[in-house]
Amino acid sequence: MRTGARPPWLHPAAKPLVFVLCALPCAWLLFAALTDGLGANPAEALIRATGDWTLRALCLVLAVTPLRVLTGTPALARFRRMLGLWVFCYAVLHFVCYAVLDQGLDVQTILRDVVKRPFILVGSLALVLLTLLAATSTQRAMRALGGRRWQALHRAVYAVAALALLHFFWMRAGKRNFAEVAVYALILGLLLGWRLGHAWWRRRRAAGGAN
């Protein structure tokens, strides 16, 4: 990169490009649904695909801070809010596909299913937390809550990750198919481990500076 050149993540087109890339799976699923390209069970295919993309988007948003710190590129933080909203978008689509295609939008049946099946209960709890995080993702919400309280609230994204992984594990447990679960567990475990290690290192450095 020549001296004075603008880094690619600061280019005005960077955020629109990331937005389009995040929207592509949704567009593809819509196209496949309209063209009978989802196989013999389209409802199950949509429910699974939107759930998978929720987990993938969640991994991406949790990777922003480690990448920002390890590469020394604080400008990467500008993508975090948008990626977080895409996690919420795919989670809502996942729930809507389940509620409409699997349960026929019967509220009583859905509520009974949530209470009866633990994996749906933890998935619903993750969605509730994601809704809270999405609702408080604006600058106005940050000012109203105060920086420290806002940061404490948004650490709930790690609880969302744990609940989402548990939801995925229980869903696959019936078929004893844990290969993908192990991959997501490894990725999320590494990201969470880095976060805990980095927080410990910062506290040690702050304590050393105070002495």
Q: How far is CA 119 from CA 51, 172, 187, 210, in A?
A: 13, 10, 21, 46
Q: What is the pLDDT of residue 1?
A: 45
Condensed to tens digits (0 to 9), the pLDDT of residues 16-53 reads 999 999 999 999 999 999 999 999 999 999 999 999 99
**What is the residue extent of each domain of the chain?**
12-204
Q: What is the pLDDT of residue 129?
A: 96
For the chain, residues with pLDDT lower than 70 are 1-6, 9, 208-211
pTM of the full predicted structure? 0.90
Residue 170 · residue 119 · CB < 8 Å: yes
Q: What is the pLDDT of residue 72?
A: 87
Residues 6+ apart with CB under 8 A from 88: 130, 131, 133, 134
Q: What is the pLDDT of residue 176?
A: 75
